[in-house]
Amino acid sequence: MRAYFPLLFLAALSGSAEAYGWIHPVPKHQPLAWSGPAAGPTLTGDPELIFTFDDGPDPKRTPFVLDTLKAHHIHAIFFMVGARLEVPEAQAIIDRILAEGHIIANHTMTHQDLCHLRNDLRANAEIDKGKAIIEAQAKMQMVWFRAPYGVRCELLDNMLAARGITHFHWDLDPKEWKHGNTKKTIDYLEKNLAKIGGRNVLLMHDIKTATVEALPVVLDWLEQENARRRELRIRRIRIIQGYELAIERMPPGLLDWLTEVAPDRDRITKAVASVLP
């Protein structure tokens, strides 16, 4: 469990300051920024990369993304929109994602900007309904969450705190969701991955054609880049699998217990995703 005393202390201090006119209260819908690195510092000393995909599943495009990830032995995190699970094809995609060792997470029910919804009840429902429908089809608990558009405000902070969850942000965004240009996506990723340091969370979208087309090119480039680094004896770009990040965040001793109850690797991966703190 996280210690909330420092946050409570700051909140109390803020209230006292307002009383004396030192600062002005921040409207609960006013935009704020997320701190980085999104998934914390590197634990290996290598430049590290975590693959995440938003807005799916998409019956036409997500399977191609999964094909590419499988070919390169990458296990990603898929932040799903609840409304997209209401089509008949969604269940098979979810089953495949879990069977292949990826992690599923909540990206709200209908992909609304939670900081611009003036109805607080509707904003809360976006989180809760998305979680409920994803859990129903994935048959596991959802504890990782990402807000649409990566927005942050006091309202969202309060909603997440009330649920005991934190926001899973990102560090790299090729914006293929915006421009839809495959070449721009490839150029951005190759340029930025070549110079990354520390741990980096990559945001992409498995509902976009540019993602489907760019991903295999970039992963081929990444393998070539790591081969070059190996020859030069410099640190290679290490891919942190989604389940590895989950294991990092598990309470001590819990992984040993999971290994006993689920000795099969695929079952462990699914079990890890279901008990994340």
Q: Is the Cα torsion angle 17, 165, 207, 183 positive or negative in sign?
A: positive
Q: Annotated active-site positions, please?
A: 54, 205
d(CA 165, CA 85): 22
Report CA 122 to chain centroid distance, whole Å: 23
Tokens 């699914």 belong to 270
Helix-strand-coil percent breakdown of the chain, rounded to 5?
50, 10, 40
Within 13 Å of residue 259, how many CA atoms lie on the same side as its CB? 5
Whether the upstream peptide bond of residue 57 has omega within 30° of 0, thus cis, is yes
Residue 96 burial by Cβ neighbours in a 10 Å radius (0-12, 13-18, 19+): middle
